[in-house]
Amino acid sequence: LANRKFHPESTIVDVDGVKIGGGHFAVIAGPCSVESESQIISVARSVKASGAKMLRGGAYKPRTSPYSFQGLEVEGLDLLIKAKAETGLPIVSELMSPKLCEIFEEKVDVIQIGARNMQNFDLLKEVGKMSRPVVLKRGLSNSYEEWVMSAEYIMAGGNNNVILCERGIRTFENYTRNTLDISAIPAIKKMSHLPIIVDPSHAGGMSWMVESLALAAIAAGADGLMIEVHNDPQHALSDGQQSLNPKQFDDFMKKSFPLVQAFHPG
């Protein structure tokens, strides 16, 4: 189902009129974690003003340490809904457990499957039964083939609206948090008709590197970007070091505009 051979035309995923794929480009922006009503509404307003088309925000967080902030859970989803009511931006949030599918189906516009769950096949099967589009992040150490097969799991259940997200992989290099695999963009486009977006925040792990990685992704043909933006990165409860502040995000959006236009005219 995901194979380009049997479906030559590029898939366009449409979220409330925001289109990704098949020549349509969109930026998803927002904090790593939803932290409070004032935080998410302030970030939502500023990223919208800068041109983001969807709002991201984690409510259930897959943290390496059990003692790190785990997210506001269902309260976080409700705060995202408030931010959507304020701005009109569709909301994207990570689903970690099959137990929460019903809540996410009701509250969230786009389901994010995180890198750590890319091969959680029980979760993928449940998400396949949902009607919400899915952003499927590439696993920390997974091949293109494995990644596309995970999309296949979701599509086999009847949910064809899958957006692949390259977020960097584990390599021997430890200067960056992960290594952005730019080759994933042309390779996935050859293998599959599904849209592919890039998350330069988790790839590089440093805010000053986001712009370069994102511009490279656009030039390589990505259908969109997912960028972490926080109103006060220094005090963020997760991933502050890699988050842009609203001014940096606005500068990036202005700088990237001509490149986006060149690659996605109209």
**Tokens matching residue 57:** 């925000």
d(CA 251, CA 15): 26
Q: Which of residues 28-47 bind ligand PEP (CB under 6 A)?
A: 32
d(CA 49, CA 249): 10
Q: Which of residues 8-67 bind Mn ion (CB under 5 A)?
A: 32
- 137 is in the binding site of which of Mn ion, ligand PEP, none (Cβ under 5 to 8 A by kind)? ligand PEP
Write down the least CB distance from residue 9 to ligand PEP, Å.
Answer: 28
Q: Does 200 bind ligand PEP (CB under 6 A)?
A: no
- Contact between 36 and 49 under an 8 Å Cβ cutoff? The reply is no
Region of 45-53, 85-93, 109-117, 209-217 interacting with ligand PEP (CB under 6 A): 109-117
**Residue linked to tokens 């925000």:** 57
- Contact between 18 and 90 under an 8 Å Cβ cutoff? The reply is yes
Write down the least CB distance from residue 113 to ligand PEP, Å.
Answer: 8
Residue from 154, 178, 239, 244 binding Mn ion (CB under 5 A):
239
Which amino acid, one-letter code, is at 229?
V
Write down the least CB distance from residue 5 to ligand PEP, Å.
Answer: 28
- Cα radius of gyration (the chain): 17
Which amino acid, one-letter code, is at 8?
P
- What's phi and psi for 192, nearest 5 deg? -140, 155
**Is residue 167 packed enough to be buried (19+ CB in 10 Å), middle (13-18) or exposed (0-12)?**
buried
Of all residues in this chain, which one has the CB nearest to Mn ion in the complex? 32
Nearer to ligand PEP, 94 or 126 (CB): 94
Q: Which of residues 162-191 bind ligand PEP (CB under 6 A)?
A: 167
Residue from 21, 58, 200, 233 binding ligand PEP (CB under 6 A):
58
Residue from 16, 22, 49, 62 binding ligand PEP (CB under 6 A):
62
Nearer to ligand PEP, 194 or 236 (CB): 236
